[in-house]
Amino acid sequence: MTSAALWGGRFRAAPDPALTAFSRSDPSHLRLFPQDIAGSRSHARELNRAGILTADELTSMLRALDAIESDIADGIKVPAPSDEDIHTFIERLLIERLGDLGGKLRAGRSRNDQAANNLKLYLRDEARHIVAGLIGLCEALVAQAERHVETQAPGFTHLQAAQPIVFGHQLLAHAQALLRDMDRFLDWDKRSARSPLGAAALAGSAIALDPQASAAELGYDGVCENSIDAVGSRDHVAEFLFVTAMIGVDLSRLCEEIILWCSQGAGWARLDDRFATGSSIMPQKKNPDIAELTRGRSARLIGNLNAMMIALKGLPFAYNRDLIEDKRAAFETVDSLHLVLPAMTGLIATLSFDTARMAQAATSGFTLATEMADWLARRGIPFSHAHEITGRAVRYCEDKAIGLDALTDDDLAAIDPALDGDVRQHLSVEAALAARSGFGGTAPAAVRRQIARYAAALAGPRAFATGGSRQP
């Protein structure tokens, strides 16, 4: 009977319990059993092509792998303390079912190319799930934007009121950032669609000589060109973690704004009771915990990227055990986003807004000053001079505690001879918004066109999210 242990023949002593405890894979790695079994099926077919397995043996092997996958999925079979990792676990189950035939599957492959393949398949699938979650969140943002194409609000720079905008434009700014994150995943997947199977430990396999067939079976576009690179590199993991860290950053910025909108000082937004929490001591509180938790969770997404990069930076080629850190970082990141994205989608979809209060704030802080400067520039005055005149007008209004739109003809003449009453027709939020009707601008008509283009831009991510990777 073949031993289920994957190594040990050259050792004279059993592993010390401290080594065993330290070396054993984390229980979270069990989630990779579908990928490990998918790779095993492809490898069994490769062994059949190589003449290691007969047609009947291949049939028996595939049936056993199917049954093992079902038993693990149903919780009937779980790893034993003696199982060092998922590969040991599955091979043990295979040998229990098939005897020595089960031990044949190890020929021509290594845990090194298995481990690389398992995580790559997993991340390619999870990238699609994450993109699907992002699409739902972006649809919620766009739905809110459609409701607020005409809603006036102040736009900010340096967190200071700057110029009037329509609030839908602000919401779409966040949707555009998340769209780029989805596009990054599509781009990442193109570089990650290369199979490491056939690389074996590092030098390639003397038995599995047709890795292209296995790659096609598993949904890859091709095979890694270099066997050392195939097992020793994890830049596809690091890049995945960069994309997810960028998602965390983009979500955190959105959350910061939601927290500000819901504050009593702003009073722009109201949280739905289903997506808010209260205080154990202050009965009146209604807290934006989803936004705060997401903002906090982004730190962990960034930290996982940092941990992976540090683990990689000093490694010689090819495989090193340090690379086991790839799964911890990837799993925590994936699990975090599966919690964050549905909660954020619900939060965004159910927010309600005080549009009257937002419109009132649209002119606070002299947000129409740029309209005066632009009006002067259109009259041929150099903008540097127009800027200076408008600055004096703001100072004049501050002294008199009035707004720019309240300046009389006498006031305007006193500020500068270049100003006259015609400027007042440009000193309104409606005029300021309408003037910015160019591509990407905040005019309602421009924002409606942006929404239409955004819907079309989601076609690529939708196709990616529903495509999946094939695992026979």
Q: What is the mean pLDDT of residues 175-187?
A: 98
3 pLDDT above the threshold of 70 = no
Active-site annotation holds for 279: yes
The CATH H-level superfamily of 364-450 is Fumarase/aspartase (C-terminal domain) (1.10.40.30)
pLDDT, tens only, 45-81: 999 999 999 999 999 999 999 999 999 999 999 999 9
Say if residue 148's pLDDT is above 90.
Answer: yes
Q: Does domain 112-154+166-193+230-360 have CATH number 1.10.3720.10?
A: no
Q: What percent of the chain has pLDDT over 90?
A: 90
CA distance 350 to 274: 9
Q: How confident is the model at residue 471 (pLDDT cuts 50, 70, 90)?
A: very low
What is the pLDDT, as a whole number, of residue 11? 76
Candidates 3, 82, 263, 279; catalytic one: 279
Q: Over the chain, what is the mean pLDDT? A: 94
pLDDT interval class at 97 (50, 70, 90): very high
pLDDT at res. 17? 83
Question: Class of the 17-107 domain?
Answer: mainly alpha
Q: Where are the domains of the chain?
A: 17-107, 112-154+166-193+230-360, 364-450
Give 5's pLDDT tier (boundaries 50, 70, 90).
low
pLDDT reading at 200 higher than 60: yes
Mean pLDDT score, 7-33: 82
CA dist list (Å): 125 to 34, 35, 129, 462? 11, 10, 7, 14
Across the range 263-285, mean pLDDT stands at 93
The pLDDT confidence band at residue 289, using thresholds 50, 70 and 90, is: very high
Is the pLDDT at 417 greater than 80, yes or no? yes
What is the tens place of the pLDDT at every residue in 310-335?
999 999 988 999 999 999 999 999 99
Phi, psi angles (nearest 5°) of residue 277: -125, 170
> In the annotation, is 158 catalytic?
yes
pTM above 0.75, yes or no: yes
Does residue 472 carry a pLDDT above 70?
Answer: no
pLDDT tops 60 at residue 468: no
Q: Which pLDDT belongs to residue 469? A: 47
Residue 297 has pLDDT above 50, yes or no: yes
pLDDT tens for each residue of 334-378:
999 999 999 999 999 999 999 999 999 999 999 999 999 999 999
pLDDT score of 292 more than 80: yes
